[in-house]
Structures are given as C-alpha cells and as structure tokens.
Amino acid sequence: MSQTIHTPPPPMSRRQWLMSDRPQSRLQARLGRAYLVWGRFASNRLALAGLAIIVALLVVAALANVLAPHSPVIGDLRNARLLPPGGDYWLGTDDQGRDILSRLIYGSRLTLYVVILVAIIAAPIGLIVGTAAGYAGGWVDSILMRLTDIFLAFPKLILALALVAALGPGIENAVFAIAVTSWPPYARIARAETLTIRNSDYIAAVRLMGASPVRIVLRHVMPLCLSSLIVRVTLDMAGIILIAAGLGFLGLGAQPPLPEWGAMIASGRRFIMDQWWVAAAPGFAILIVSLGFNLLGDGLRDALDPRGNNQ
C-alpha cells in the first residue's frame, strides 16, 4: 500500500503572523492591532512629520546640556547685548546678553515638563469622572456632569489666570491651573464612550460572572476609552503649550531667569521693531511644536479610528 506523505505548511512570514484573523494568544492579537494602527499612521506623511517634530523636541530636551552652545541664564551685557543672528550666536542675543538659541534649547525642557505633567494630572481625572458618570448614571451622572459643565463654562485661559493669580506665580502653580481647566473635555469623551459600552453583551457577560462595578469600570470600560482619550490629549497639547506661554507672557508662569518661551516673548516685545529676533525666535519655536502636536494628533485620530481600512 502506498503511504501518503504529509508536507508541513510553509512557515508564515512575520506580516502574515501579525495579520492572522485567528490569533493564538492575546499577545499576537495586540501586536496585530498595533501593526494595523502603525500601518495606517505611517501612510500619513503629515502625521510622520508631526512625530518627527515631537521626537526632535524630546531629543533636544534630553541633550540640552550637550547641544546648547552657551549658558541659558548667564549673559555678556558688555559685549553681547542684543546682537543679531550670526557668528557665535546663531539666533542672536537678548537684552541681557544671553544666547537665544541656548535659552530655546533649555526652554524645551520646561515645555515638556508642563505638557507631561498636565497630561498626567488631567487625563486620569477626566477618565475617572467620565467613566464613573457614564456607568453609574442617575444622580451620580447628574452631579458629575453638572460639575463638568461649571468648569466648561469658563474659558480655559481666564480660569487658569484666576487660579494662578490666587495661588501665586510659578511653574508648579501654572501646571496645576492648566490641569484643573483641561480635564472636563476628557470627562465628556469618556462618558460618551462609556454610554455606548455599558449595555453591550460583553459588559453584561462580565457582570453576570460576578464582577463588581468598580472592577468593570477599571478593567473593562476604561481600556476601551483610552484610544479616544489619547487622541484628544495629543490634540490638546498645542493648546496647553499656548496657555502656558500665555501665563509666562503675563509673568504668572515660569519666573526669570528660567528660559520659558512665553516669558522670552514678553521680554522681547519691547524690541520687536528693531531687534525682532528676540521675540520671533521663541514665537517660532511655539509655532513649530504646536504644529507638531496637531499633526501627530490628527494622525493618531485617523489611525485609531476603528472604521479605518485594514492594510
């Protein structure tokens, strides 16, 4: 009798393994999802440009000690006051004889400090408030959403100004004020996502298994809200930078001699007609970084859209 020889199937490529419609583990499913998201993100050139700007900002902030050619706080009033760009000072000097390029490089650290701290404080608060209100409903929803409406009734910058004026000028108080004014939109998004999730069969099955409401919210509802929240936080980064610069411009943010970009614009506005580079350089830095966050946020929104086409 003839024997049938079974040939093993050819090994799957890495892409086939990631794109498999029958993942063998949670890790494979998560990696496949990440691969799809990255594919959609990488197809957007503007999103890649935004990512490049943010990566460059991170590198500049991390290597400020190496990249800065001069001290950001010590200047040469006798020989280097208000020098135009060129020579040893590529972006010129300010009224204290300090190198503007060095101050911009070190100021990137303050910008990231504000952005990261505000995101760490505001996003979790909004996520907790929104998911609790959406899942609990009833009077809990009414109280939390009316509190959210109170904060949304005030313009962000005006409310931040009032809080900083009450707490006193300083970078820490500015971060706290911006965070307090930034969480309500995140709560709204999290509540809307929770309302679409809480009556699904998936949540009903978890509830029947005996999971408590706290566990359901923490383990099953919040993770499903993260993608929308991440997109909104990224898009809000530009606004956070502008509010921080506005507080610094008014003297309520980082205090001298810290090289905060908004404070640099404030000190340079007196020389805007003759020594334009003093205010133009930090203004251009704010423009580029804000543009980078906006492009990155738009790309993430498109990539994380579940209606996007699989590649």
* pLDDT tens string 228-285: 898 899 989 999 999 999 999 988 888 888 899 999 999 898 888 889 999 999 999 9
**pLDDT classification of 50: cutoffs 50, 70, 90:** very high
- Give the model's pLDDT for residue 70: 92
Which residues neighbour 2 within 8 Å (Cβ) at sequence distance 6 or greater? none
Task: Write out the H or E segment, with its range, that includes residue 186.
Answer: helix 171-197
**In this model, does residue 308 exceed pLDDT 70?**
no
Angle between helices 277-303 and 261-268 (to 10 degrees): 150
Q: What is the pLDDT of residues 108-124, one digit of tens each?
A: 999 999 999 999 999 99
- Give the model's pLDDT for residue 156: 87
**In this model, does residue 17 exceed pLDDT 70?**
no
Q: For residues 196-202, give the mean pLDDT.
A: 85
Q: For residues 182-198, give the mean pLDDT.
A: 91
Please say whether the beta carbons of 129 and 183 come within 8 A: yes
**pLDDT classification of 3: cutoffs 50, 70, 90:** low
**Is the sign of the CA dihedral 56, 58, 59, 63 positive or negative?**
positive
Top pLDDT among 1 and 87 is at 87
CA gap 225, 192 in Å, rounded? 9
Torsion of CA 155, 51, 33, 218, to 10 degrees: -40
Q: For residues 143-162, give the mean pLDDT.
A: 90
User: Does residue 271 sit in helix, strand or coil?
Assistant: helix
Q: For residues 41-61, give the mean pLDDT.
A: 94
**pLDDT classification of 18: cutoffs 50, 70, 90:** low
Max Cα separation, the chain? 103
CA gap 146, 141 in Å, rounded? 8
